[in-house]
Structure 1
Amino acid sequence: MQIEPGTLLRTIDSPKDLKNLDPAQLHQLCEELRQYIIDVVSVHGGHFAASLGVVELTVALHYVYNTPYDQLVWDVGHQAYGHKILTGRRDNFYTNRKYKGLSGFPKRSESPFDTFGVGHSSTSISAALGMAMAAKYKGEDRKSVAIIGDGALTAGIAFEAMNHAGVSDADMLIILNDNNMSIDPNVGALKEYLTDISVSRTYNKFKEDVWKALGKLPIGKGFTRTMASKLADSLKGMVNKSSNLFESFKIRYFGPIDGHNITNLVQTLQELKKIPGPKILHIITVKGKGYAPAEKEQTKWHAPGLFDKITGEIYKKKFEVAQPPKYQDVFGHTLVELAEKNPLIMGVTPAMPSGCSMKFMMEAMPQRAFDVGICEQHAVTVSAGMATQGLKVFCNIYSSFMQRAFDQVVHDVAIQNLPVIFCLDRAGLVGEDGPTHHGAYDIAYFRCIPNMVLSAPMNEQELRNLMYTAQLDKTDFPMVIRYPRGNGVMADWQKPMQEVEIGKGRRLKTGKDLAILTYGHPGNFAASAIREVAGEGIDAAHYDMRFCKPLDETLLHEVFQQYDKIITVEDGTIKGGFGSAILEFMAAHHYQATVEIMGIPDRIVEHGTPKELIAESGYDAPAISQKIRQMMMEDKSTSTTLHSEYTIKNNNASSTKRP
């Protein structure tokens, strides 16, 4: 389906073309850009509401600044669709988030206009500050602009950056895009503070009166609008003490202003370009602006999938039979089930209650489940604090985001051996969000930490059993339960929960030719492969190890004593992961075997559907089947070669004994 841009938008191949427009045409361009995003995303999918909310800001930034010489740093990148369309990627925007297509986030290798690769939130101020400091050192008159949402501002790194920016004298602008939404509604005192600034009638009326009064004063031409703004800003503390938060960092504060008034945005940015040093512009926007359903239900429309843009109907896949639930929903419902019986259970998530399904407990038991904002480090340590008081805390964090709290896991949990239960959602290759969101590394970086127990369920029932085990009184150590994005394999999953012995795997199938050791959900790929090769006369054994640390050594001794051909399968990186743990065991016990490790390769895996990426990475069912065949063929080939060499040697020996 060919989607045509509007009459103005089709003429914009770069910001240089945008600058040729008359200011009066910018409103029409904004409408066309917003409609084009709606048209493309409704048919091809992607993140949605965030980009609609910054259409005017995007146009204004590229109209005022000399990009890419002047550098725009988009935080997270959910809101950068308009930016991509205006910077030469309009005609292939339909490939956004598709395999081999455009990335869903700014990406340096994709365009010079994408100045910094993003995916995890709250990095924009630090990155833009670094760029501004570099420009100052090199004597370049380039501007740096960080565009950060109010949700992303809750992360500690954002405040660390502002603390540095205020004393750096770097020429940078921070734009605070305030819409009271991240993916879920924002939480915490900062949200209340920003709301106070935004709705303070006293301050806003006072500021308006100052502007009007200054406009009537008989002052010289040298007294500019910028000077008037400085005077107004200096009077803020007289009417609203909380307005001094940003200025306490020595960052000049301007705003709040309407983020959907393109004329005012352009004028304001043009004035701010003239003011040196660090400064912040606070704009008020609506996530999903211009599409009524998205404005009404912003979380639902963050990334809705395909939909009918006229009716607002979000298309759902139709199935003839009951389908397995998503792992995240199994977690959410099971947590409530357990918490109803165990009053010591608490829940913590950093800004992802819908994504990880902590929302179920937050709704059922709001006093026992908490969204702490985009603060993975805080989420881990506050969980540790509760654990010191005898509580059983399920701290649910996406695998990729868990990387941000590694230090807290080591120092605040593991060293103190506190029984925090880390439920890592989105483990493995997550799909269209790409490399910034893949949960590739948690097995490797958790495996090296003392006191940590690492587990991964092969299906929904195993997830429930591991969660049940983790909350028992005798489980008095930190524990990781990792599981992938998407659906499991059991439609009938709500079965009674059972305790799992820590470090105990299970033999799912015996076999005589080789053994396959799996960790987590990929065990289902292996089971499928084993069934396929069975029809070819290959008899493979299957062991679901369940735990990567501690390993089931009894089971492994059985494996290495019976098989000289072994395949390991995991949805983590092959460097330092589950397969590496098996090799370490083999070496420690002086076994000899041919071991093939299958998992995420040692390279950056880009975006695409999970099915496409797992196939590309070579650990789906067909790849496992092929690996089994290859190992069996190599065994036959080696046997044939050895037999031939033995025959030749014996023949030669015989011939030397002839008279």
Structure 2
Amino acid sequence: MSAKYPLLSRIDSPADLRQLARGDLKQLATELRDYLLQSVAQTGGHLSSNLGTVELTIALHYVFDTPRDRLVWDVGHQTYPHKILTGRRDRMATLRQLGGISGFPRRDESEYDTFGTAHSSTSISAALGMALASQIKGESRKAVAIIGDGAMTAGMAFEALNNGGMPHAGKVPDILVVLNDNDMSISPPVGALNKYLARLMSGKFYAAAREGAKGLLKNAPPLFELARRFEEHAKGMVVPGTIFEEFGFNYVGPIDGHDLDALIPTLENLRDKPGAQFLHVVTKKGQGYKLAEADPIAYHGPGKFNPAEGLKKPATPPKPTFTQVFGQWLCDMAAKDSRLVAITPAMREGSGMVEFEKRFPGRYFDVGIAEQHAVTFAAGLACEGLKPVVAIYSTFLQRAYDQLIHDVAIQNLPMVLALDRAGVVGADGATHMGAFDIAYLRCIPHCSIVAPADEAECRQALTAAYEQDHPVAVRYPRGAGVGTAMAGDLQPLPWGRGEIRREIKKPLPGQRVAILAFGTLLYPALEAAERLDATVANMRFVKPLDTELLQDIARRHDAIVTVEEGCVTGGAGSAVMETLQAAGVTLPVLALGLPDEFIEHGDPAKLLSLMGLDAAGIERSVRERFVDRAGRLELVRAASNG
């Protein structure tokens, strides 16, 4: 490595970086960018955003005394250069893999990761808390929040700005907010703020005219001073600084985020200034890799690829993903019903809505990274007789929980929540796992939950949800299903009805086990049931639960096993037990699902296997709980443990 990366190979911590001569930093940036590209090409992960923060990361660690000074990264998918420079360079081969390093900052991974992130718009709040903690403790350190322009569309960022410029005990906290303005979040950013930030970018006349005028007027000092004063009054009308200065921040910028000669002295000046500072830097996503510069969305989170060739389409078309199934259904239903409107909080590509935007632009709304607004905005649309479909990841709906209860459910407004990434998502780790939606939705009155088992059922479930006059969540996982053929029509699932998919072949008294599957774990449950000779029910609906089917199964079986790709605590298995208890039915129930812990990053299939949610794991759990060595159901043990 030292031959190819002579400077980078010497950097095991930011202290090593700060020993370099400033003239060496451009070469270090070149090495770091190439190492980053080659590394991500081997593991997959976030690329465009990280290529865009190479110089900014170097400058921040060069100027600030990290980890004593606190760097708080927003979202966190742009921190690979930070990881490489903070002692994790040689672990990049394990990125986002089971047992390896995370793709996001984690406090338990490094002292340089001062705050765990992955969701958006939290950095200013966290950095402000750190700055005020230092002030209260009498410690001298700087807290720096690095936030992207897309994350500035969330209300939480402005709540923090509103608080950040205010004095506490007579002193404004020492905080620096760095706005990394790359005109991108994941999807292209939207809204008035982005247009405001882009005002300078629409034409570079301001900077050019300013520098040219300086050169002319320096020879006439009185005119130069007059022009300087005029500029101070006029710049707020031209550059996007006024809004931040009104919050109490000293605004500086915009400056080129790839120019180390501009970044470092500017950061040094801001480091030494007390109070609330705001630096606006302009970067380019994918910087230094032409393919990513040309298509930063495609290279936002690629899998493994050859950097010399770029991303290639697979030789054989892959099975459609659940996201694609949703996208096609959305277009088909919109063609049938002009009341349908679709909303996404800045996840057009991730939620499969690109085609819908093209075909129905007047009925498509990207509200930016603003999940709370998305849900209440949809409620307003529903109040006027439209039929909103909110496409949102399970983990991101958590951010709009109050709005879902207060603005949607209490008013019982018709709305479809298309919950992508439900269950185990894999490489993004605990922050993105869709583990909790069943539990947190099931307790809300008026709200229904559908868990289709495959692609065909997903399409039918969405139709069934759309036909209801109350809020309905349809949860489906990341990636493809088993490849079930889908009908072209818009036939709904029978509302609130499950189905028996396998019956016991030899129903011997005392040995009759039924597996109730919710969602895509139906298929490993069927595989396990073949070896166990168990009944399998495809329940489909968590709420309303098919109580008629459940009671029929309870009458004909000696034990019930529930299987779900969601947290066991408060999940679908809990719903089954509550229903049986309410009906006065005493029957052993084994609930299988995600354990009461945060799930690490790793390959989804491997994670499911480790948690006993593959076919072998389901079979093993049933045998360990209910079956003795002779293959008979142990009713006494089951009853005592059930």
TM-score, normalization by structure 1: 0.91
Aligned partners of 1:200, 1:360: CA distance in 2, in Å?
A: 31
Aligned partners of 1:436, 1:231: CA distance in 2, in Å?
A: 49
For the residue of structure 1 that corresponds to 2:528, the secondary structure is helix
Q: Which residue of 2 aligns with 1:171?
A: 174
Q: 2:380 aligns with which of 378, 382, 385?
A: 385
Aligned partners of 1:247, 1:214: CA distance in 2, in Å?
A: 28
Q: Which residue of 2 aligns with 1:9?
A: 8
Letter in 2 for 1:454: I
Q: Which deviates more, 149-158 or 231-240?
A: 231-240
Q: 8 Å contact 1:3–1:40 — kept in the other structure?
A: no
Q: 1:415 aligns with which of 410, 414, 422?
A: 410
Letter in 1 for 2:603: T
> What does the per-residue CA deviation read over 1:310-339, in whole Å, with 9 as the maximum and x for residues that have no partner?
122x255555xx643100000001110111
Q: CA deviation at 1:228?
A: 13
Q: 8 Å contact 1:198–1:256 — kept in the other structure?
A: no
Q: Which residue of 2 aligns with 1:192?
A: 195
Q: 8 Å contact 1:211–1:232 — kept in the other structure?
A: no
Pair 1:454-2:449 in alignment: yes
Q: CA deviation at 1:213?
A: 7.7
Letter in 1 for 2:559: K
Q: How has the CA–CA distance of structure 1 residues 642 and 402 changed in structure 2, closer, same or farther, with 3 Å as cutoff?
A: closer
Q: CA deviation at 1:7?
A: 0.4
Mapping of residues 576-595 of structure 1, within 5 Å: 576-595=570-589
Q: Which residue of 1 aligns with 2:604?
A: 610
Q: CA deviation at 1:560?
A: 1.2
Q: Which residue of 1 aligns with 2:291?
A: 293
Q: How has the CA–CA distance of structure 1 residues 504 and 635 changed in structure 2, closer, same or farther, with 3 Å as cutoff?
A: farther
Q: 8 Å contact 2:121–2:147 — kept in the other structure?
A: yes
> What does the per-residue CA deviation read over 1:265-317, in whole Å, with 9 as the maximum and x for residues that have no partner?
001101111211111111111000000000000100101111111122x2555
Q: Which deviates more, 519-528 or 67-76?
A: 519-528
Q: Which residue of 2 aligns with 1:551?
A: 545
Q: 8 Å contact 1:233–1:254 — kept in the other structure?
A: no
Q: Which residue of 1 aligns with 2:271?
A: 273
Q: Which residue of 2 aligns with 1:341?
A: 336
Mapping of residues 532-571 of structure 1, within 5 Å: 533=531, 538-571=532-565
Q: 8 Å contact 2:59–2:260 — kept in the other structure?
A: yes
Q: Which residue of 1 aligns with 2:434?
A: 439
> What does the per-residue CA deviation read over 1:597-626, in whole Å, with 9 as the maximum and x for residues that have no partner?
111100111100111111122211110121
Q: 8 Å contact 2:456–2:485 — kept in the other structure?
A: no
Aligned partners of 1:577, 1:228: CA distance in 2, in Å?
A: 69
Q: 1:486 aligns with which of 476, 479, 491?
A: 479
Q: How has the CA–CA distance of structure 1 residues 261 and 217 changed in structure 2, closer, same or farther, with 3 Å as cutoff?
A: farther
For the residue of structure 1 that corresponds to 2:500, the secondary structure is strand
Aligned partners of 1:215, 1:620: CA distance in 2, in Å?
A: 75
Q: Which residue of 2 aligns with 1:257?
A: 255
Q: Aligned residues, how many?
A: 625
Q: 8 Å contact 2:415–2:466 — kept in the other structure?
A: no
Aligned partners of 1:229, 1:155: CA distance in 2, in Å?
A: 37
Pair 1:72-2:56 in alignment: no
Aligned partners of 2:115, 2:97: CA distance in 1, in Å?
A: 21
Q: 8 Å contact 1:323–1:491 — kept in the other structure?
A: no
Letter in 1 for 2:463: Y
Q: Which residue of 1 aligns with 2:617?
A: 623
Aligned partners of 1:247, 1:73: CA distance in 2, in Å?
A: 21
Pair 1:574-2:568 in alignment: yes
Mapping of residues 101-116 of structure 1, within 5 Å: 101-116=100-115
Aligned partners of 1:232, 1:148: CA distance in 2, in Å?
A: 31
Aligned partners of 2:265, 2:588: CA distance in 1, in Å?
A: 69
> What does the per-residue CA deviation read over 1:21-67, in whole Å, with 9 as the maximum and x for residues that have no partner?
11000000000000000111112211101010010000000000000
Q: Which residue of 1 aligns with 2:522?
A: 523
Letter in 2 for 1:190: L
Q: How has the CA–CA distance of structure 1 residues 42 and 215 changed in structure 2, closer, same or farther, with 3 Å as cutoff?
A: farther
Letter in 2 for 1:605: I
Q: How has the CA–CA distance of structure 1 residues 483 and 268 changed in structure 2, closer, same or farther, with 3 Å as cutoff?
A: same
TM-score, normalization by structure 2: 0.93
Q: 1:405 aligns with which of 400, 406, 419?
A: 400
Q: How has the CA–CA distance of structure 1 residues 440 and 216 changed in structure 2, closer, same or farther, with 3 Å as cutoff?
A: farther
Aligned partners of 1:27, 1:206: CA distance in 2, in Å?
A: 28
Mapping of residues 154-169 of structure 1, within 5 Å: 154-168=153-167, 169=172
Mapping of residues 31-50 of structure 1, within 5 Å: 31-50=30-49
Q: 8 Å contact 1:565–1:631 — kept in the other structure?
A: no
Q: 8 Å contact 1:3–1:39 — kept in the other structure?
A: no
Q: 8 Å contact 1:40–1:94 — kept in the other structure?
A: yes
The answer for unaligned runs of 5 or more in structure 1 is 220-226, 644-659
For the residue of structure 2 that corresponds to 1:135, the secondary structure is helix
For the residue of structure 1 that corresponds to 2:627, the secondary structure is helix
For the residue of structure 2 that corresponds to 1:94, the secondary structure is helix
Aligned partners of 2:283, 2:68: CA distance in 1, in Å?
A: 27
Q: CA deviation at 1:499?
A: 2.5
The answer for unaligned runs of 5 or more in structure 2 is 638-642
Q: How has the CA–CA distance of structure 1 residues 275 and 251 changed in structure 2, closer, same or farther, with 3 Å as cutoff?
A: same
Q: Which has the larger radius of gyration?
A: 1
Q: CA deviation at 1:243?
A: 3.5
Q: Which residue of 2 aligns with 1:655?
A: none
Q: 8 Å contact 2:152–2:158 — kept in the other structure?
A: yes
Q: 8 Å contact 2:456–2:484 — kept in the other structure?
A: no
Q: CA deviation at 1:370?
A: 1.4
For the residue of structure 2 that corresponds to 1:522, the secondary structure is helix
Q: Which residue of 1 aligns with 2:590?
A: 596
Aligned partners of 1:235, 1:593: CA distance in 2, in Å?
A: 77
Q: How has the CA–CA distance of structure 1 residues 213 and 116 changed in structure 2, closer, same or farther, with 3 Å as cutoff?
A: farther
Q: How has the CA–CA distance of structure 1 residues 605 and 338 changed in structure 2, closer, same or farther, with 3 Å as cutoff?
A: same
Q: 8 Å contact 2:454–2:484 — kept in the other structure?
A: no
Q: 8 Å contact 1:41–1:306 — kept in the other structure?
A: yes
Q: 2:184 aligns with which of 157, 174, 181?
A: 181
Aligned partners of 1:524, 1:123: CA distance in 2, in Å?
A: 39
Q: 8 Å contact 2:455–2:484 — kept in the other structure?
A: no
For the residue of structure 2 that corresponds to 1:624, the secondary structure is helix
Aligned partners of 2:3, 2:551: CA distance in 1, in Å?
A: 64
Letter in 2 for 1:506: E
Q: How has the CA–CA distance of structure 1 residues 134 and 4 changed in structure 2, closer, same or farther, with 3 Å as cutoff?
A: farther
Q: 8 Å contact 2:124–2:161 — kept in the other structure?
A: yes
Letter in 1 for 2:15: K
Letter in 2 for 1:251: F
Aligned partners of 1:255, 1:437: CA distance in 2, in Å?
A: 34
Q: How has the CA–CA distance of structure 1 residues 609 and 229 changed in structure 2, closer, same or farther, with 3 Å as cutoff?
A: farther
Aligned partners of 1:590, 1:302: CA distance in 2, in Å?
A: 53
Identity across matched positions, percent: 46
For the residue of structure 1 that corresponds to 2:520, the secondary structure is coil
Q: Which residue of 2 aligns with 1:429?
A: 424
Letter in 2 for 1:17: D
For the residue of structure 1 that corresponds to 2:296, the secondary structure is coil
Q: CA deviation at 1:192?
A: 0.7
Aligned partners of 1:124, 1:3: CA distance in 2, in Å?
A: 35
Q: How has the CA–CA distance of structure 1 residues 502 and 13 changed in structure 2, closer, same or farther, with 3 Å as cutoff?
A: same
Q: CA deviation at 1:500?
A: 2.4
Q: Which residue of 2 aligns with 1:311?
A: 309
For the residue of structure 2 that corresponds to 1:174, the secondary structure is strand
